[in-house]
Chains A and B, each alone.
Chain A
Amino acid sequence: MLEIKDLHAGFDGNEIIKGISLTIKKGEIHAVMGPNGSGKSTMAKILSGHPSYEAMGGEILFDGENLLEMDAEQRSLAGIFMGFQYPVEVPGVNNAEFLRMAHNARRVKAGEEEIDPLDFDDLLSEKMKTLGMEKKYKERNLNDGFSGGEKKKNEILQMAILEPKLSILDETDSGLDIDALRVVSEGVNKLRNENNALILITHYQRLLDYIKPDYVHVLSDGKIVKSGDKSLALELESQGYDWVTTAN
């Protein structure tokens, strides 16, 4: 589904990612871990198509298409979802209305008719029920005045509505208390199936207690220094990042 080949990337001419290769197949969950400054965030930004970040070498193929030639809107329509670390607040724009716009953009792309507000409300209610989310997520404005946990839950609600092929969750666990972390993780687990894939970008392994990865990659100074299965994350937890970064 996703092939990253010898990717070099950064912003303002500073190279932060210095040659990463990674292949992700459908149905898989990959965790990308690493200390601060290792290039985790840059990797998330470059995959989502953030205009301030640029690829300096290598390529990324998504379902065989050159991802680096697509802008953020095209990437989303192609089936990539970015769960932001700090979702932006948009006062004045109703959350349900925003979700409907996003859902309709997909329908239009697929050549279907736009969904009307009432039918969309049914769809939204159903998804919210599955995720155990309160009614307020329909009524409030997009992330406006949301707590950190509420913003992350709202990201998962968007993911549920958009049904992406590949989701990248950037530090989704940061700033969440245990209860919120459980709700978010359960939501993500419910949305999983054999046709979609997930990249979890995280500093801590505690998220991985809830969402079990098939592979764990450790990033240091812009490179993957170690890959393994779930046990790698536990080892990191007990020994600290120095264990892999100095071993390198």
Chain B
Amino acid sequence: MSDEQNSVSDILEDSTYKYGFTTDVESDTFAKGLDEDVVRAISKKKKEPQFMLDFRLKAFAKWKTMKEPEWPNVHYPPIDFQNISYYSAPKQKKVLESLDEVDPEVMRTFEKLGIPLDEQKKLANVAVDAVFDSVSVATTHKKKLMEVGIIFCSFSEALQEYPELIEEYIGSVVPVGDNYYAALNSAVFTDGSFVYIPPDTISPMEISTYFRINTEETGQFERTLIICAENSYVSYLEGCTAPQFDTNQLHAAVVELVTLENAEIKYSTVQNWYAGDKETGKGGIYNFVTKRGKCLGDGSKISWTQVETGSAITWKYPSCLLIGDNSSGEFYSVALTNGHMQADTGTKMIHIGKNTRSSIISKGISADHSSNSYRGQVKVGKNATNARNYSQCDSMLVGDKSSAHTFPYIETANSSVQVEHEAATSKISEDQLFYFESRGISRENAIEAVISGFCKEVFKQLPMEFAVEAQKLLTLKLEDSVG
């Protein structure tokens, strides 16, 4: 039987990472190392307003006093933060008048990744902000969005054009000293995306950011800020890939979401960073990300959906602060680990307002030698009368060398609340596969059916294009070793 078990893990293997190429572009890269001068230099390079520099310096001072968190269930050698370059940008003219001025190599890179940016080929229903290493290189559909008052641009541009919005909201969800990586990000972030949806506006299209790390020893520290005003709605997508290097690269992003009264943000991620060599575990991205949403207004809603299929290490807890009365938070997650990947991911739902609701659906799939942990906190404050939470955390093991862990933390300070937690662990069993085979269904199709069945509740939350992509990605990870 042990041979059979192995072959199941084989099927989940992803022997070729098809995004592993690098692009040869001339870039403007800072020397490695981090001190206050580097922080000042980044701010100067980007011609930032004073408040931004102050914010960075405060974060840097804080970061210096902090230690890397040791509580996550992941293991890696210490990171040398002096051996990373904190700024890398493809060389280009100071201000881009149009996409024609973007380095054609960069344009081709995104096209290869399935994200064409030029006017003729750009995706019709999705506006894209393309971030290459440290900077945003192109944003599509900006004008069309502006017609309905929606601001969608790179973070750098927003700092120049809408400094008052940034000043009001940056750090209001994730304070500079929130955690080690958030503090680091706050000090050295270089770019990212900014979205503002004005009151009473339903975004006419999906808005997305596509992150690409290209340079070997660069960290990517981007910042996303989305503000959704009263009675508005936006669906936001995020995708990520990186080339294949033997060294580990650090991706420490901060995402802040704010919803005002009756507003809703739906934030979806398909993460496929390079996960390192399957056999040796060498290389791959350290994905240490802080994502948090603040349901500030009554009746507002934030929904996180993530499909995590890459990165050597994932450390990420998209969370919701449910401040407004009747506000609600959702977290839907599929985390697939194989090879030597380690994931410690989950969410925090902090109930502060009355009648606040949250639901958590987490699906972890671990194969090969990987380790997959769900860590979730549900905290209900004393004023959160009638708060409700439902959590469901399911794990699926493939083979007998992988592991799955669940760490739920539940804290309630109000007796009228209802908190439910369910957890289940299953295996793709040989008996199940045999059952399919004895009905003439191939092993490959059987595994695909079982996996997508397991993830169904999460996939159906994704916007159509992303659901298709996520399915394809999981299938790709399965298929490679079947044929």
Chain A residues in the interface with B (C-beta under 8 A):
48-52, 71-73, 75-77, 82, 84, 87-88, 90-94, 97-98, 101-102, 105-106, 109, 141, 158, 162
Contacts and interface: CB of A to CB of B under 8 A. Distances in A.
- Top 8 A-B pairs ranked by shortest CB distance? A92-B453, A76-B440, A102-B439, A72-B437, A93-B453, A105-B440, A73-B437, A72-B438
Interface stretch (B22-30, B177-185, B307-315, B424-432): B424-432
B454 A88 contact: no
Interface string B434-470: 1111111111010001101110100000000000000
Given A52-B1, A91-B426, A92-B456, A77 B450 contact: no
A51 B430 CA distance: 9
Contacts of A94: 453
Given A52-B1, A98-B449, A141-B453, A90 B439 contact: no
A60 B468 CA distance: 44
A235 to B, nearest CB: 34
B70 interface: no
Contact of A82 (B430, B438, B443, B449): B438
A82 B436 CA distance: 11
Nearest to B435: A88
B439 A158 contact: yes
Task: Name which of B426, B439, B453, B454 has the most chain A CB atoms within 10 A of its CB.
Answer: B439
Contacts of A91: 426, 453-454
Contacts of B430: 51
B80 interface: no
B440 A102 contact: yes
A99 to B, nearest CB: 8
A3 to B, nearest CB: 21
B: contact size bracket? 20 to 34
B249 to A, nearest CB: 35
A101 B449 contact: yes
A141 B441 CA distance: 17
A51 B435 CA distance: 11
Given A92-B454, A102-B441, A162-B439, 19 more contacts: A51-B434, A52-B1, A72-B437, A76-B438, A76-B439, A76-B440, A84-B435, A87-B435, A88-B434, A90-B449, A91-B426, A91-B453, A93-B449, A98-B436, A98-B441, A101-B441, A101-B445, A102-B440, A105-B442
B435 A90 contact: yes
B115 to A, nearest CB: 31
A73 B440 contact: yes
B4 interface: yes
B434 A90 contact: no
A127 to B, nearest CB: 15
Contacts of A48: 438
Given A76-B438, A162-B439, A162-B440, A88 B429 contact: yes
11 contacts: A72-B438, A73-B438, A73-B442, A88-B435, A92-B450, A92-B454, A92-B456, A98-B439, A98-B449, A101-B441, A162-B440
Nearest to A161: B439
A138 to B, nearest CB: 16
A24 B349 CA distance: 64
Contacts of A88: 429, 431-432, 434-435
Nearest to A92: B453
A106 B438 contact: no
Interface in B294-348: none
Contacts of A77: 440
Given A51-B430, A88-B429, A93 B450 contact: yes
A232 B259 CA distance: 77
A158 B435 CA distance: 12
Task: Name which of B426, B429, B441, B445 has the most chain A CB atoms within 10 A of its CB.
Answer: B441
Contacts of A82: 438
A78 to B, nearest CB: 9
Contact of B437 (A76, A84, A87): A76
Nearest to B453: A92
Contacts of B435: 84, 87-88, 90
A51 B7 CA distance: 13
Contacts of A158: 439
A233 B438 CA distance: 30
A44 to B, nearest CB: 11
Contacts of B426: 91
A164 to B, nearest CB: 10
A141 B442 CA distance: 19
A49 B436 CA distance: 12
Contacts of B439: 76, 98, 101-102, 105, 158, 162
Contact of A73 (B4, B429, B441, B456): B441
B8 to A, nearest CB: 12
Nearest to A73: B437
Given A90-B450, A92-B450, A106 B1 contact: no
A13 to B, nearest CB: 14
Nearest to A51: B4
Nearest to B452: A92
A106 B449 CA distance: 17
Contacts of A97: 449
A71 B442 CA distance: 10
Task: Name which of B426, B450, B453 has the most chain A CB atoms within 10 A of its CB.
Answer: B453
A160 to B, nearest CB: 13
Nearest to B3: A51
A109 B441 CA distance: 11
Contact of A50 (B434, B440, B442, B449): B434
A77 B453 CA distance: 24
Contacts of A102: 439-441
Nearest to A109: B440
A150 to B, nearest CB: 16
Nearest to B429: A88
A155 to B, nearest CB: 10
A158 B441 CA distance: 13
A93 B456 CA distance: 9
Nearest to B454: A92
Task: Name which of A76, A97, A101, A109 has the most chain B CB atoms within 10 A of its CB.
Answer: A101
A62 to B, nearest CB: 14
B440 A106 contact: yes
Contacts of A106: 440
A50 B435 CA distance: 9
A69 to B, nearest CB: 15
Nearest to B451: A92
B450 to A, nearest CB: 6
